[in-house]
């Protein structure tokens, strides 16, 4: 089977980590044709927009994209490429598996969580205005349609991937209408999936419980803003951003990327850790139905972290990005040849 995939190298360390993924994915023996599409701050400078229409057209055509991080200025400047991509392509589900990695130091062991975040509405609607000077209003939009859609995605994902329990995270004690509607939708969908258990937790308590004992949770289902914050908290439970993959999934397309940013401090130095985007690449392989190749890649990453080499400096090693990529590619090839 051959696949044409849109590849967005992005800014900062993006070109280095995407090159590492392309290198490793070629070791699976699957025939990938990469359609390279520049986007981000450098594209803003050269084309006047950070997300040209050609990028969206490419993803609409290919239905799958692999993306490096893109820079977004804080405050003014251009709209976040990530937010725009999710909106334009209606990538409504953000999927972030959070697992402990052998050999990687962290405070917890045996963490195996999935965070599912609604990606299109909530306070990210971007509807803000000045009421009178000194007073601004930012609107939180929650709809039955989007809440039902993400709840169905979560329960489908759970039942297809052997997850036991979904916990909806909310603040409905304060936001009775908006978070109340979200919970109504989750409860309604939960009744259709008797094989997956369902419960609810208030977001502040969820944060405390996650820090106390993350293994008490299985799959978390959240609105957009809580999902943003809680998913980063969860990444921190298992060793930080260097190992946090994600997928943004819609009805007609899917985009896989690492959670980390452009890391300008180490860009161009061949020091960036490629593992987060490699784990995202494994998610992409699963999405394509290439589950065997996904398993090879995950086990190659697992063996590398367990042995503790080669690893990049952020994980305590001294290897370069390309050395890590070469070693993981060799491991994938070895498994393929078995």
CB of 14 to ligand ATP, least distance (A): 9
Choice among 87, 122, 124, 198 that is catalytic? 124
CA gap 55, 43 in Å, rounded: 11
Choice among 218, 228, 232, 326 that is catalytic? 228
Q: Give catalytic status of residue 124 as yes or no.
A: yes
User: Number of H helices and number of E strands within the chain?
Assistant: 11, 12
Q: Give catalytic status of residue 286 as yes or no.
A: no
- DSSP readout, 13-49? THHHHHHHHHHHHHTTT-EEEEEE---SHHHHHHHS-
Residues that bind ligand ATP (CB under 6 A): 13, 69, 71, 241-242, 260-266, 272-273, 276, 312, 314
Choice among 145, 176, 199, 204 that is catalytic? 204
Instruction: Pick between residue 52 and residue 313 the one whose CB is nearest to ligand ATP.
Output: 313
249 Cβ neighbours under 8 A, 6+ residues apart: 91, 92, 93, 94, 95, 153, 255, 287
CB of 111 to ligand ATP, least distance (A): 20
Decide if 138 contacts 176 (C-beta within 8 A): no
Choice among 165, 171, 218, 232 that is catalytic? 171
What three-state secondary structure class fits 330?
helix
Q: Give catalytic status of residue 105 as yes or no.
A: no
In 3D, which of 181, 156, 30, 178 has the Cα closest to residue 95? 156
Q: Give catalytic status of residue 204 as yes or no.
A: yes
Return the active site residues.
124, 171, 204, 228
């Amino acid at each position: 089977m051959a696949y044409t995939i849109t590849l967005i190298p992005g800014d900062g360390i993006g070109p280095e980590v995407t090159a590492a993924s392309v290198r490793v994915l070629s070791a699976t023996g699957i025939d990938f044709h990469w359609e390279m599409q520049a986007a981000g701050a450098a594209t803003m400078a050269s084309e006047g927009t950070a997300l040209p229409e050609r990028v969206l057209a490419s993803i609409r055509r290919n239905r799958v994209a692999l993306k490096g991080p893109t820079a977004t200025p804080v405050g003014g400047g251009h709209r976040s490429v990530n937010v725009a991509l999710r909106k334009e392509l209606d990538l409504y589900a953000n999927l972030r598996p959070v697992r402990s990695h052998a050999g990687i130091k962290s405070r917890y062991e045996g963490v195996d969580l999935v965070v599912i975040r609604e990606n299109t509405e909530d306070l990210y609607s971007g509807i803000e205005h000045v009421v009178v000077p000194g007073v601004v209003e930012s609107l939180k939009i929650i709809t039955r349609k989007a809440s039902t859609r993400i709840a169905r995605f979560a329960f489908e994902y759970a039942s297809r991937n052997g997850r036991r329990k979904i916990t909806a995270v909310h603040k409905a004690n304060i936001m009775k209408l908006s978070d109340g509607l979200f919970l109504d939708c989750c409860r309604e969908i939960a009744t259709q999936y008797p094989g997956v258990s369902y419960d609810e937790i208030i977001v502040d308590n969820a944060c405390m419980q996650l820090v106390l004992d993350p293994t008490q949770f299985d799959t978390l289902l959240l609105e957009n803003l809580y999902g943003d914050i809680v998913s980063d908290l969860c990444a921190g439970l298992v060793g930080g951003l260097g190992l946090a993959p994600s997928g943004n999934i819609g009805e007609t397309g899917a985009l896989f990327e690492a959670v980390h940013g452009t890391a300008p401090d180490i860009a161009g130095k061949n020091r960036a850790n490629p593992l987060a985007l490699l784990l995202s690449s494994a998610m992409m392989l699963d999405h394509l139905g290439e589950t065997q190749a996904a398993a090879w890649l995950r086990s190659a990453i697992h063996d590398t972290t367990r042995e503790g080499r080669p690893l990049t400096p952020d994980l305590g090693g001294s290897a370069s990005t390309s050395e890590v990529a070469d070693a993981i590619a060799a491991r994938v090839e070895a498994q393929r040849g078995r």
